[in-house]
Structure 1
Amino acid sequence: MPDKKKNELSVAIIGAGLGGVAAAVNLKRAGISSFTIFEQSAGPGGTWWDNTYPGAECDIPIAFYAYSFKPHDWARTHASQAEIQSYIQSAIDDYDIGPNLRFNTRVTDAVWDDQRHLYTLTTAAGERMTFNVVISALGLLNVPRYPDWPGLERFRGPKFHTARWEHQHDLAGKDVIVVGIGSTAAQVVPAVAKIAGKVTMFAREPAYVMPKNERDLTADERKRLGTRWGRLRERARLFWNIERGMSVRNPDSKRQKDTRAAFMRYRDQVFQGRPDLIEKLTPDYPFACKRPVGSTDFFPALTRENVEVVPRAVVSVTPDGVVDHAGVEHRGDVLVMATGFQPWNFLANLNLVGRGGRRIHGVWGDEPDAFLGIQVAGFPNFFMLYGPNTNYFCVTFMLERQAEFIARALKRMIRTDSTAIEVRRSVMDVYNRWVDRALSRKTLEGNCNNYYHTATGKNVVTWPWRGTVYLLATRIGGLASFTRRVGEDKTRTRFEPGRATAKGSAPHPATAKPEAAPAPGKKAEALDA
């Protein structure tokens, strides 16, 4: 039976994607069952709920991309969007998380009350609730990046972002314009080219593309992966391959040279007899400067007669098409924006207010940072999943480590009868200087356009080391936090359970005027911890 005190700790989880579900499972494993998951969509899955474009699937072997705690009989080496979304739902069912879920509920504000050590959450509908702890599982790729092309509103045909695919449009026989050459475009173009009259793809900057070699699993492989030992061994094998490959980020490494050579061989094989495509699609920056694309059918699709590659950026839109950087207009019936997301824009849709009435975006300015991407000094009892500088090869690996870290932190609060836990500012600052120095020596800082940097040029997205380093850091990182109790650290007050209140029935706990965001490129003054 769970300890009574554990049930008194109320937790709000914002987001029901891979991260939110991992957090919920780890809380239940820790004996903490009083939590609510708020999800703005009508169902679970996060990015796997939103991204339903043709060809959507993971580009990492599913044996490693899946949860370590949730076995599944996968039919192929890589899973489709629908399969992954269904898998997340099955994890919710297996761990009986359904009763804790609230769909179609968007949390807009989370405000800390340092007198009671509680957060007041406000939803878009105006409902207010209090919780002891808030966990943000909003994800890294949840805010689409829409271009600001002049004339976009005048385009006469259907126009939409890949993360908001409009399935009501029949693309058969249509001239489709796809803008982008990232992982999403690499899945959309081959799928659409099979039915469209013509596909015009705009590739402002070529990407490194390597085949992911997806295939059906054999009966023997599925049987082996159906055992605990078989799954562990396969996950360990895939993890080791990923860890070895991380040395490619060293611009002078042998793996960097070998990987670029492998790309050239693959490019020459697929584009044999097409020197025009070789010229358009060969990067002039180091491998891994931007996220490599894993796709077996993308490059072959570009050789189709009904596909044209334009190696220039779009600068404006006309009623009947788009105009590229050279001033050439390209006509089309449908405009698909595979223009990615805003991963540097952490907590973009959440107004988080911490100690002293300070807003997280005012404290961060243009350079978000956090300890292990999980905790921010000055924001007690608040945790993030996949926060600043935690983008690693496999998101699920990082999410599980973060969910485990959070569960340990909450168990520590319960064990010490504390009402608040917070990372020390001094430790957080040293940690982030360590990260910045490491990133400065990686290919990620090369001469390419990637989604890792803010307007100031700071890389706030990428984890610079191997996954084993992060695993160890999250194991010992809890020592960087200090705990407090209500009443200036003296009163041994137990948790006041968070509870929902009627709309407008309770005063807002933040009475201090929030600080304004600093000017672009400047860092707000650090909070004392």
Structure 2
Amino acid sequence: MSTAATVTQVETVVVGAGFAGLGTAIRLLRSGRTDFVVLERGDGVGGTWRDNHYPGVGCDVPSHLYSYSFRPRAEWSAVFAPGEEIREYLTEAVEDEGLAPYLRLGTEVLSMRWVADAQRWSVETTTGAYSCRTVVVCAGRLSEPRVPAAPGLESFDGPVFHSARWDHSVETAGKRVGIVGSGASAVQILPQVARDADSVVLFQRSAPYVVPRENRQYTPAERRGLSRVPGAVERLRSRMFWDMEQGLAARRAVPGFVDSLRATALGHLAQQVPDESLRAVLTPDYEIGCKRVLLSDDYYPAVASSTVTVVPAALREVHGSTVVAEDGSEHELDVLVLATGFESTRPPWAERVVGRDGGTLAGHWDAGMSAYASTSVHGFPNLFVINGPQASLGHNSAVFMIETQIEHVLGALEHVRSSGVLEVSRTAEEEYSTWLDEAGEGTVWRTGGCTSWYRDDRNGRLTLLWPDFAFTFRERFGTFDPAGYAGAGSVLG
């Protein structure tokens, strides 16, 4: 533990240097606040886009919408940017905005503890200690890889690694490669690996819905126009945003909308996979939108190639180089890739946060995550969580939600400056959670017949999703209202 003499005093500690953390830092700095630090355990910025550098990594939200509205970029190379370009965008933001002096890279947070007498947070890290009035946690939902509990996995005879920890020293060309999982990462990885691998075995626990990606490069003329014409980028962003907002109708199972989306996905499958038996294996047994709808033009052709074998079962166990699936089939492999997602509903960092009554945030969330305005938690004064519980979207850009939360938090920080302590009431948090549960009724996330990372398996609640339009979240919480911290009624109406 650090001694009092080595404790750095700051107004605000921001945890994480991904989209949320850097966005918060930029807005703090632009508003004239300089008494803050950004703590990042990695050796660079970018969060998800730093950690995920597997072959084919890219975004499934259009580039112009998956970027800060206060840092528009006219020079995106394509409609859907590759992962490295997104990371470069964030790195450029650090340089252009002068954030480097506020970053503490290679600094892992060990504990965050509320000190009631001082009315401040004590933050212990691997590189020193901090005392601050407010903490903004921007650790994200996709930062802790989930590894399947398959007996023998740790003793696999060849290289084994998670997709978010890709080992580029491992050669997959000419090898027998296993890919565990069939979500967003697997759909991007498989076509790349299948190009030159000897064989690929895909362990598919459940088939995803896949719709055409239809990506393309922006022409030089388009990029020039976006750069030179006043308001061009903003108009493009707006059009993309409202186009994506319409996707909520399908998630609410509105007839016509959900039917159209389902027909698009199944038509894409039928067009690209002529073999009926394989097509049956690749056909989901739940309603579209219940899980994340994936975008790809090359996944199905790769799966249908002679190189790939689809095993419609999860991983069961490993014996040396023999990988056994839940259906009993055995497969000899040289390399094993775990595209198995993240600990999204049980964030490990919550175990390191100790609140007013001495309990951890993980304990508070033992029955499922919750937070008033998707941002503040009862019992944890002056602590704000961005991109955490009930802040995800199943149909639009996460960056829009992050920016909305940042605006809410900036207002809250101003309130803290004058009042000292800000804590949401238990009633407000519980009423907000009840409202969210009611808002999620009838959606495909609750009634579509699937399990997904959107829902907590402990209670079945949509503890990650905001089950409404993105614009309504901004209308309700984009401006901080201190009255909302006394009761939810004045905000939710």
Which residue number in structure 2 is paired with residue 462 of structure 1?
A: 465
Deviations 1:298-357 (A, max 9, x none): 111112211111112221112113111221101110010101111111353651112122
Which residue number in structure 2 is paired with residue 90 of structure 1?
A: 92
**Partner SS, residue 331 of structure 2:** strand
**Partner SS, residue 431 of structure 1:** helix
Q: CA RMSD in A?
A: 1.6
Which residue number in structure 2 is paired with residue 29 of structure 1?
A: 30
Say whether 1:336 aligns with 2:331.
no
Q: Which amino acid aligns with 2:152?
A: G
Task: Give the Cα separation in 2 of the matches to 1:112 and 1:230.
Answer: 46
User: 1:279-298 maps to which residues of 2 (within 5 A)?
Assistant: 279-298=280-299
Task: Give the Cα separation in 2 of the matches to 1:328 and 1:175.
Answer: 16
Moved over 6 A (4+): none
User: 1:88-487 maps to which residues of 2 (within 5 A)?
Assistant: 88-125=90-127, 127-226=128-227, 227-272=229-274, 274-346=275-347, 348=349, 350-392=351-393, 393-414=396-417, 417-445=418-446, 446-456=448-458, 457-480=460-483
Describe the shift of the 1:264–1:482 C-alpha distance in structure 2 as closer, same or farther (beyond 3 A).
closer
Q: Which amino acid aligns with 1:448?
A: C
Q: Which amino acid aligns with 2:212?
A: P
**Which of the pair has more CA radius of gyration?**
1
Deviations 1:123-146 (A, max 9, x none): 135x22201110101001111110
**Partner SS, residue 421 of structure 1:** coil
Q: Which amino acid aligns with 2:465?
A: T
Q: Which amino acid aligns with 2:202?
A: M
Deviation at 1:477, TM superposition (A): 4.9
Which residue number in structure 1 is paired with residue 59 of structure 2?
A: 58
Task: Give the Cα separation in 2 of the matches to 1:481 and 1:419.
Answer: 17
Task: Give the Cα separation in 2 of the matches to 1:220 and 1:394.
Answer: 26
Deviation at 1:151, TM superposition (A): 1.4
Deviation at 1:412, TM superposition (A): 2.7
Task: Give the Cα separation in 2 of the matches to 1:228 and 1:291.
Answer: 35
Deviations 1:158-180 (A, max 9, x none): 01110111111111100100011
Task: Give the Cα separation in 2 of the matches to 1:476 and 1:401.
Answer: 8
Deviations 1:383-439 (A, max 9, x none): 01111111113211111111111111112333xx22111223222221110001111
Deviation at 1:95, TM superposition (A): 1.0
Task: Please identify, of 237-246 and 226-235, the stretch whose mean Cα deviation from structure 2 is larger.
Answer: 226-235
TM-score (norm 2): 0.93
Q: Is the 8 A contact 2:405 2:478 kept in 1?
A: no
Deviation at 1:476, TM superposition (A): 4.7
Deviations 1:247-284 (A, max 9, x none): 11123522001111111211111112x11221011112
Deviation at 1:9, TM superposition (A): 6.5
Deviation at 1:14, TM superposition (A): 0.5
Q: Is the 8 A contact 1:193 1:306 kept in 2?
A: yes
Describe the shift of the 1:90–1:11 C-alpha distance in structure 2 as closer, same or farther (beyond 3 A).
same
**Partner SS, residue 284 of structure 1:** coil
Task: Give the Cα separation in 2 of the matches to 1:301 and 1:228.
Answer: 42
Task: Give the Cα separation in 2 of the matches to 1:253 and 1:330.
Answer: 43
Q: Is the 8 A contact 2:58 2:83 kept in 1?
A: yes
Task: Give the Cα separation in 2 of the matches to 1:134 and 1:336.
Answer: 36
**Partner SS, residue 136 of structure 2:** strand
Deviations 1:160-205 (A, max 9, x none): 1101111111111001000111000011001111121111111111
Deviations 1:465-496 (A, max 9, x none): 0001111111355234559xxxxxxxxxxxxx
Which residue number in structure 2 is paired with residue 506 of structure 1?
A: none
Contiguous gaps of at least 5 residues in structure 1: 1-7, 484-529
**Partner SS, residue 132 of structure 1:** strand
**Partner SS, residue 38 of structure 2:** strand
Task: Please identify, of 209-218 and 219-228, the stretch whose mean Cα deviation from structure 2 is larger.
Answer: 219-228
**Partner SS, residue 328 of structure 2:** coil
Task: Give the Cα separation in 2 of the matches to 1:422 and 1:228.
Answer: 43
**Greater relative CO, 1 or 2 (CA 8 Å, sep 6+):** 1
TM-score (norm 1): 0.86
Q: Which amino acid aligns with 2:423?
A: E
**Partner SS, residue 21 of structure 2:** helix
Task: Give the Cα separation in 2 of the matches to 1:341 and 1:276.
Answer: 31
Q: Is the 8 A contact 2:346 2:362 kept in 1?
A: no
**Partner SS, residue 451 of structure 1:** coil
Task: Please identify, of 404-413 and 183-192, the stretch whose mean Cα deviation from structure 2 is larger.
Answer: 404-413
Task: Give the Cα separation in 2 of the matches to 1:209 and 1:284.
Answer: 13
Q: Which amino acid aligns with 2:129?
A: R
**Partner SS, residue 434 of structure 2:** helix
Describe the shift of the 1:306–1:383 C-alpha distance in structure 2 as closer, same or farther (beyond 3 A).
same
**Partner SS, residue 79 of structure 1:** coil
Q: Is the 8 A contact 2:350 2:360 kept in 1?
A: no
Q: Is the 8 A contact 1:289 1:444 kept in 2?
A: yes
Task: Give the Cα separation in 1 of the matches to 2:115 and 2:255.
Answer: 50
Q: Is the 8 A contact 2:179 2:338 kept in 1?
A: yes
**Partner SS, residue 121 of structure 1:** strand
Q: Which amino acid aligns with 1:329?
A: E
**Partner SS, residue 176 of structure 1:** strand
Count, aligned residues:
472
Task: Give the Cα separation in 1 of the matches to 2:445 and 2:135.
Answer: 32
Q: Which amino acid aligns with 1:17?
A: G
**Partner SS, residue 310 of structure 2:** strand
**Partner SS, residue 361 of structure 1:** helix
Task: Please identify, of 395-404 and 438-447, the stretch whose mean Cα deviation from structure 2 is larger.
Answer: 438-447
Task: Give the Cα separation in 2 of the matches to 1:463 and 1:153.
Answer: 37
Task: Please identify, of 26-35 and 87-96, the stretch whose mean Cα deviation from structure 2 is larger.
Answer: 26-35
Task: Give the Cα separation in 1 of the matches to 2:481 and 2:369.
Answer: 20
Q: Which amino acid aligns with 1:62?
A: S
Contiguous gaps of at least 5 residues in structure 2: 1-8, 487-493
